[in-house]
A = this chain, B = another copy of it.
Amino acid sequence: MTAASDRAVDQLRERILGGEYVPGERLGEVELAEKLGVSRTPVREALRRLAAEGLVDITPNKGARVIDYPRQDLEKIFEIRAHVEGLAARSAAETASMADIDRLDELATVLKERSEAGDLDEVYRLNAAYHATLNGLAGSAVLTSTVGHLIHSAVLLRTLHSFDPAARQRSVNHHLEIVAALRARDPDWAEAVMRAHLLSARASLLGARRRDEENLEENA
């Protein structure tokens, strides 16, 4: 479970989150083993671990596929995140060090730049890093791993792609405002903004779905 298996997990995760494998796509063991230059054993391990992270779905005797959540679940994910990450933001406001907050500030600032430049891929990465960092500051391994799964599922479905420019700007501002709340050591404020941030994302998602359905009707 060292070199080979770890590398397999990292590479697979990156490829899945990077969109190289689309949701629902089959992930054959032998194919992956050849592509990664290892035997099937570490590949199996990797697939099991990714299943644990919620990135792939394994059916006995039938193999692994990239997970494909229904849209409804995705909305639920944002509701849960609104609560759980709200808690994390609250904790962070109470315990984070100045160095931690500075790091978060840096992420939020660069994120704002990249967003204004229209570099969506980088916005993804930074957004994930921002949330992962903040959740880590809550200082509870349980909380971090809990939310980790949820974030993966969301990134997977390219949530941000559905954002219209106005929503994206709101999102960027939320990130900065949360940093301000942390600096002010104000748990209530931090929690409230984080909740707003994620519920706003959820709303954008609903809007995107409505647009998708309308487009479908047009093309029908």
A-to-B contact residues, CB < 8 Å? 1-2, 6, 44-45, 48-49, 51-54, 58, 60-61, 69, 72-73, 76-77, 79-80, 83-84, 86-87, 138, 140-143, 145-146, 149-150, 153
Is there contact, CB below 8 Å, between B79 and A87? yes
Is there contact, CB below 8 Å, between B48 and A146? no
A182 to chain B, nearest CB (A): 19
Total identical chains: 2
Q: How far is the CA of A61 from the CA of B5 in the complex (A)?
A: 12
What B residues does A142 contact at CB under 8 A? Answer: 54, 69, 73, 76-77, 80, 150, 153
Known interface pairs A1-B58, A49-B48. Does A149 touch B150 (Cβ–Cβ under 8 Å)? no
Q: How far is the CA of A130 from the CA of B83 in the complex (A)?
A: 22
What B residues does A2 contact at CB under 8 A? Answer: 60-61
What B residues does A79 contact at CB under 8 A? Answer: 87
Q: Contact check: which of B48, B69, B76, B146 meets A149 at CB < 8 Å?
A: B146
What B residues does A52 contact at CB under 8 A? Answer: 48-49, 51-53
- Chain B residue with Cβ nearest A45: B48
Q: How far is the CA of A60 from the CA of B45 in the complex (A)?
A: 13
- Chain B residue with Cβ nearest A80: B84
- Beyond the given A54-B142, A73-B141, A76-B142, please list 11 additional residue pairs across the A-B interface where CB-CB is below 8 A: A2-B61, A48-B48, A54-B145, A76-B138, A76-B140, A80-B83, A80-B87, A80-B142, A80-B143, A145-B149, A146-B146
- Chain B residue with Cβ nearest A49: B48
| 12 A-B pairs (CB sep. < 8 Å) | A1-B60, A1-B61, A2-B61, A52-B53, A54-B142, A72-B140, A73-B140, A76-B142, A79-B87, A142-B153, A146-B149, A146-B150
